[in-house]
Amino acid sequence: MVTVMVLFDSRGGLVEQLAAAVAEGVRSVDGTTLLYRRLDEAAPKELPTVDALIVGSPNWSGMTGKLKDWFDHSGDLWQTGELASKPGGAFVAGYSRSGGTEATLLQLLHLLLGHGMIVVGLPWSDRMRVSGSYYGATAHGAVTEDDREQARALGRRVAELAVRLAAAMLYTARRVMRTGPHSPISP
Amino acid sequence: MVTVMVLFDSRGGLVEQLAAAVAEGVRSVDGTTLLYRRLDEAAPKELPTVDALIVGSPNWSGMTGKLKDWFDHSGDLWQTGELASKPGGAFVAGYSRSGGTEATLLQLLHLLLGHGMIVVGLPWSDRMRVSGSYYGATAHGAVTEDDREQARALGRRVAELAVRLAAAMLYTARRVMRTGPHSPISP
Amino acid sequence: MVTVMVLFDSRGGLVEQLAAAVAEGVRSVDGTTLLYRRLDEAAPKELPTVDALIVGSPNWSGMTGKLKDWFDHSGDLWQTGELASKPGGAFVAGYSRSGGTEATLLQLLHLLLGHGMIVVGLPWSDRMRVSGSYYGATAHGAVTEDDREQARALGRRVAELAVRLAAAMLYTARRVMRTGPHSPISP
Amino acid sequence: MVTVMVLFDSRGGLVEQLAAAVAEGVRSVDGTTLLYRRLDEAAPKELPTVDALIVGSPNWSGMTGKLKDWFDHSGDLWQTGELASKPGGAFVAGYSRSGGTEATLLQLLHLLLGHGMIVVGLPWSDRMRVSGSYYGATAHGAVTEDDREQARALGRRVAELAVRLAAAMLYTARRVMRTGPHSPISP
């Protein structure tokens, strides 16, 4: 089983609605355990234990200070690398279509990359005309069914990558039993 | 008179429709001369002569290579600073709301900042819920009246800043006649 | 007189050293009053009164949560526009050259643009090979004389733009007395 | 065997020196075939056949127009998704430390994300103080041994992820033979 954390700061509800859809996407993938965490309920000590992390924020001209502050006080994981080479993703909800949605997603992706994580977004589909970003899942003003579908796709994609990487480790482990040591993923 | 160039790469028409609205905004400001240039008609040698520059591109997962290539071959203005400390702005049209609109605007702003220009975007208004970005003017799928209004506002804002800076130079020049030399804007 | 605020969150000292150099640049411009504010000393109610704002942060894979939180609780200026059309700039110090310095500067510029501010960076000069960014002033590991010179240039540039805009208003006011009303800068 | 393409636009040599080190990193991973391509030698029709893609550009206030133009004319892969869910990475060389290195890396990552790719950067290490970025490998002014080591690490990381994903598919394929169909990675 791989553990996928969905972590978000929600005020006003849109972000939480997106988070619920991201969580549905995670749960739809066999072999995953979901950690669903509002920021107030999350414990930094859980972070190093997860196999994947999907972070959500309202668009407050960037992520909320409260969310960033939580990460600022989550220890030195960025330095010690407990999250390095694990999959991550992001989602954002706000008032406006192009007034910072991508910028806020990018701040979240930067945080994930700052931990050495592997970034998963959304590929093009016609649905992206009205919802979603290459950088992650989105909502503007309200959470529509298109928004939920993109959020589910994001949850699925991150979870499937985590499951595949775990499977690869099993496969490699078996292969190693036959062929000798295989170099670990470079730090 | 200050000269404001509106320079854009248009294919498919949305960018050109936005450009026309940006141009309306520029023309609405007393004391401005408009240089309206499709990329194929623009000459790099005009660039150093303008007092302000507003650049537009379709969202092709970034600005078009053709537009970037034009700048790559526009001489060493970024190095010699002919555009430094002049106002600039950006506009982008594409298919999707959050699928690279901000990222493409940001690439254009980066190009302007790379020339040392002063960047002007759009401030918040309720209209930004459906159109426009802090980074500049936008359109998604079609050019709406809200898009045109944001594009006009961008043209006005850049042109008014250029006019004000020219006025300040006049004011300073007169004051200098009375009080002695005033240091030029630092490079 | 125009008022320029230098506002920063400093831990470890590099950011404060840069802030001091930015402040020198501001003070070198005639007609400016400096408000020099460590985050803990700054009052959000001062923000609407300034004519220009230069913000600094350490590179903590983005600005600090504490700094963002301060802005998150500074009222609805982004919405009401008290800072709109005023000049702004940014500076960042951190451990690494390309490990988030630009990304953190960009987060600060985004915050300024989110208030409708006009963004001033640094133009190219040979000094940028070792210090500074088109996005603002920088330091890596220690604050060098090159870093200080770039920080002074940033302070000067923002302050001079603020002074010029104020001069333009005076010039316009005099001209209006002779020629009638002039449209205010568009919101 | 998985195929990893290293694709770059080099003028002046720094980017090509980095590319050579990225290629070393790729070759150090068992089970990989390297496609090493200067832009002038690359054929867009090769793109859909690769299992991973690492792209390099000089910092010309963004990637070169020539490189972007190549992608603009590489067909509709962004739309049809041939590269979706495959690993990608980026590297950039230029004159200055913070004068657009991250911004140019980000433009390359945006292009990869625009194809739906999974983005791999570099995790923190003390070496990042002087070379490399969370966004990829870097060089400033000259290519140092630290730059080469970061570039090798990037090549290794992307190649190892590609190898692991291929292993996961084999593992899944075997498991499916025993347990029935497994859902493909969501588009």
| pLDDT tens string A136-187 | 999 999 999 999 999 999 999 999 999 999 887 766 666 655 444 444 445 4
State how far the Cα of A63 lies from the Cα of C107, in Å rounded to an integer. Answer: 10
Decide if pLDDT at C15 tops 90. Answer: yes
State how far the Cα of B87 lies from the Cα of B4, in Å rounded to an integer. Answer: 9
User: Which of B61, B68, B114 lies closest to D100 in CB terms?
Assistant: B114
At A37, phi and psi to the nearest 5?
-130, 115
β-sheet bridge partners, residue C93: C58, C139
State how far the Cα of C87 lies from the Cα of B168, in Å rounded to an integer. Answer: 15
Q: Chains meeting B at 3+ CB pairs closer than 8 A?
A: A, C, D
Q: Is D116 near chain A, with CB under 8 Å?
A: yes
State how far the Cα of C3 lies from the Cα of D184, in Å rounded to an integer. Answer: 60
Q: Is D170 near chain A, with CB under 8 Å?
A: yes
Task: Enter the tokens of residue B74.
Answer: 């526009």
Of A99-108, B173-182, D59-68, least confident by mean pLDDT is: B173-182
Q: Is B185 near chain C, with CB under 8 Å?
A: yes
Sort out which chain C residues have CB atoms less than 8 A from B186's CB and list them.
25, 153, 156-157, 160
Q: Is C86 near chain B, with CB under 8 Å?
A: no
Nearest CA in chain D to A87: D118
Using CA atoms, how far residue A63 sits from A57, A104, C110, C118, C143, in Å, is 6, 6, 11, 22, 29
Tell if the CB–CB gap between D167 and A167 is shorter than 8 Å: yes
Run of H or E residues at B88: strand B87-94
Q: Tell which residue, C3, C58, C49, has the closest CA to residue C26.
A: C3
Count interface pairs A-C at CB distance under 8 A. 68
| pLDDT tens string B102-133 | 999 999 999 999 999 999 999 999 999 999 99
User: Which of B61, B68, B110 lies closest to D65 in CB terms?
Assistant: B68
Sort out which chain D residues have CB atoms less than 8 A from B98's CB and list them.
none
Decide if pLDDT at B147 tops 50. Answer: yes
Q: How confident is the model at residue B169 (pLDDT cuts 50, 70, 90)?
A: confident
State how far the Cα of B163 lies from the Cα of B53, in Å rounded to an integer. Answer: 13
Distance from CA of A126 to the nearest CA of B (A): 9
The pLDDT of residue A55 is 98
CA angle D142, D143, D145 (to 5 degrees): 135
pLDDT above 90 covers a percentage of chain C that reads 81
Sort out which chain A residues have CB atoms less than 8 A from C71's CB and list them.
61, 65
Using CA atoms, how far residue D18 sits from A27, D39, D101, in Å, is 41, 15, 14
**ipTM of predicted complex:** 0.92
Nearest CA in chain C to A60: C72
CA angle A75, A64, C187 (to 5 degrees): 150
Sort out which chain B residues have CB atoms less than 8 A from C182's CB and list them.
30
The pLDDT of residue A179 is 47
β-sheet bridge partners, residue B92: B57, B138
Mean pLDDT of B169-186: 54
User: Which of A69, A99, A115 lies closest to C65 in CB terms?
Assistant: A69
CB D30 within 8 A of CB A182: yes
Q: Is B157 near chain C, with CB under 8 Å?
A: yes
Decide if pLDDT at D72 tops 90. Answer: yes
| pLDDT tens string D2-49 | 999 999 999 769 999 999 999 999 999 999 999 999 999 999 999 999
The pLDDT of residue D12 is 64
State how far the Cα of D58 lies from the Cα of C104, in Å rounded to an integer. Answer: 22
Sort out which chain D residues have CB atoms less than 8 A from C95's CB and list them.
128-129
Tell if the CB–CB gap between D124 and A78 is shorter than 8 Å: yes
User: Which of B30, B157, B175 lies closest to C186 in CB terms?
Assistant: B157
Run of H or E residues at A118: strand A118-119
The pLDDT of residue A186 is 52
State how far the Cα of B76 lies from the Cα of D9, in Å rounded to an integer. Answer: 20
| Cβ atoms within 10 Å of D36's Cβ, excluding its own | 17
Sort out which chain B residues have CB atoms less than 8 A from C135's CB and list them.
113
The pLDDT of residue D87 is 97
Could you give the 3-state DSSP secondary structure of residue A155? helix
User: Which of C30, C113, C160 lies closest to B186 in CB terms?
Assistant: C160
User: Which of B95, B99, B124 lies closest to A134 in CB terms?
Assistant: B99
Tell if the CB–CB gap between D116 and A121 is shorter than 8 Å: yes
Decide if pLDDT at C12 tops 80. Answer: no
The pLDDT of residue C173 is 62
The pLDDT of residue D172 is 64
Q: How confident is the model at residue C184 (pLDDT cuts 50, 70, 90)?
A: very low
Mean pLDDT of B79-91: 94
